[in-house]
């Protein structure tokens, strides 16, 4: 769903070097902000944005893996031919990100912790991004 990784997805790579590089960069950014942030609020916000977005993405991946494994072992679970448009796929990610952003936002309102504000903020940004991506043409051909 992320255009940055479309080439890796199209090539059916199990491990994406691009992902590993970006993960390393984000880890360095977290360490850098953690070392420089004397008050603690900025680090808490960035840590919340990173970890809660990571949670959102991992749970989506786990759900998709479960769905495909379920179909592999129970092919009679679905009947006919399924084809999902790029537009719908992007919109589903956007709606999921929006829902997680709302839950994280409620966590922020309830606790006042910038950790949850960071998660809500980054999920809302992701939702907007995927709403906008829904109108673009995917580079991956079925």
Domain ranges within the chain, ordered by starting residue: 3-133
48-91 pLDDT, tens digit per residue, is: 999 999 899 889 888 888 888 888 898 888 888 878 888 898 89
CB 8 within 8 A of CB 16: yes
The contacts of residue 131 (CB under 8 Å, 6+ apart) are 90, 91, 94
Q: Which pTM was predicted? A: 0.76
């Amino acid at each position: 769903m992320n255009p940055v990784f479309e080439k890796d997805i199209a090539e059916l790579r199990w491990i994406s070097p691009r992902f590993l590089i970006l993960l390393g960069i984000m880890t360095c950014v977290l360490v850098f902000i953690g070392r420089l942030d004397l008050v603690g609020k900025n680090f808490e916000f960035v840590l919340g944005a990173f970890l809660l977005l990571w949670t959102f993405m991992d749970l989506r991946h786990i759900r998709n893996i479960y769905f495909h494994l379920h179909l592999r072992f129970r092919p009679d679970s679905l009947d006919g031919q399924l084809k999902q448009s790029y537009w719908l796929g992007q919109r589903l990610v956007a709606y999921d990100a929006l829902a997680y952003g709302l839950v994280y936002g409620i966590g922020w309102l309830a606790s006042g912790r910038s950790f949850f504000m960071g998660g809500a903020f980054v999920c809302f940004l992701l939702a907007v991004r995927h709403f906008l991506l829904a109108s673009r043409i995917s580079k991956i051909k079925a």
